């Protein structure tokens, strides 16, 4: 059984579950993966609590232990910023906690040449904690929008998704995407789990899956989950 620690935010957790289902579309009910979603929406806000490290860590560990008690074989967190606590969470639980940034890095190594420029759209907290830079700086040039664009395009888009205003979120994000394309990025990581919702909400699942520009970490993680799930 797959354990999903959600609630960061709730839309992102549901998006992950939806992608697990879509990857198995057309199969018998009994062929769909078994999973438990713990929508732990009372987890302290990650961006505002980077300095209160152990407050967030305790909440995340408590959530993972609940999934562990429910006999999950491994756990995923559909939240990029939460991976700042990944190593310390893993030390306190007995089952594997998959790493979203690591999986995105492994995928990028297969699809991009070394030293390629890769763009990332994410929260300021994800940039600050370097959860992606810790992997990508070894082999790639990882770039993000300038401060003004971050605030007026990326942050705004994330907020709009959380409010359920998906079309407005997609429009808000366009400026940041155009900026990264002008910088000749080979790929753009949608490094906040709300952003793929903004980009792909009005596109077919097949188009989202086959996108040559955007990397959807939630979708990648769902695909890795299914491979691991099938190895019983």
> What does the DSSP assignment read for the chain?
-EEEEE-TTHHHHHHHHHHHHHHTTTS-GGGSPPEEEEE-TTSPPTGGGSSSHHHHHHHHHHHHHHHHHTT-SEEE---SGGGGGHHHHHHH-SS-B--HHHHHHHHHHHHS-TT-EEEEE--HHHHHHTTTHHHHTTT-EEE---HHHIIIIIIHHHHHHHTT-HHHHHHHHHHHHHHHHHTT-SEEEE-STTHHHHHHTTS-HHHHHT-SSEE-HHHHHHHHHHHHHH--
Of 4-13, 23-32, 58-67, 79-88, minimum mean pLDDT range: 23-32
Q: What is the CATH number of domain 2-98+221-230?
A: 3.40.50.1860
pLDDT at 51: 67
For the domain made up of 101-217, the CATH class stated in words is alpha beta
Average pLDDT for 57-79: 96
Enumerate the CATH 3.40.50.1860 domain ranges in the chain, comma separated: 2-98+221-230, 101-217
Average pLDDT for 216-224: 95
**In this predicted model, what pLDDT tens digit does every residue of 156-206 receive, in sequence order?**
999 999 898 999 999 999 999 999 999 999 999 999 988 998 988 766 556
pLDDT at 205: 54
**In this predicted model, what pLDDT tens digit does every residue of 111-157 receive, in sequence order?**
999 999 999 999 999 999 999 999 999 999 999 999 999 999 999 99
Residue 168, token pair as written in the block: 């407005």
Q: Global pTM?
A: 0.89
**In this predicted model, what pLDDT tens digit does every residue of 29-62 receive, in sequence order?**
888 899 999 999 888 876 666 667 888 899 999 9
Angle between helices 10-23 and 217-230 (to 10 degrees): 50
Q: How confident is the model at residue 231 (pLDDT cuts 50, 70, 90)?
A: confident
């Amino acid at each position: 059984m797959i354990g999903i620690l959600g609630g960061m935010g709730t839309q992102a957790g549901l998006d992950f579950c939806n992608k697990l289902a879509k990857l198995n579309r057309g199969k018998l009910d009994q062929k769909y993966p078994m999973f438990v979603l713990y929508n732990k929406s009372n987890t302290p806000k990650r961006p505002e609590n980077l300095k209160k490290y152990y407050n967030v860590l305790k909440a995340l560990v408590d959530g993972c232990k609940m999934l562990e008690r429910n006999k999950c074989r491994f756990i995923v967190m559909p939240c990029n910023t939460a991976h700042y606590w990944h190593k310390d969470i893993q030390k306190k639980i007995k089952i594997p906690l998959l790493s979203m940034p690591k999986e995105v890095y492994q995928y990028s190594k297969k699809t991009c040449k070394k030293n390629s420029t890769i763009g990332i759209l994410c929260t300021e907290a994800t940039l600050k904690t370097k959860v992606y830079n810790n992997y990508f700086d070894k082999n790639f040039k990882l770039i993000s929008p300038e401060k003004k664009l971050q605030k007026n395009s990326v942050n705004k888009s994330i907020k709009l998704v959380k409010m359920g205003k998906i079309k407005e979120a997609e429009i808000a994000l366009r400026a940041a995407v155009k900026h990264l394309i002008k910088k000749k990025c080979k790929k753009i990581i949608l490094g906040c789990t709300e952003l793929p919702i903004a980009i792909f909400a009005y596109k077919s699942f097949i188009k989202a899956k086959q996108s040559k520009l955007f990397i959807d970490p939630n979708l990648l993680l769902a695909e890795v989950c299914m491979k691991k799930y099938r190895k019983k």
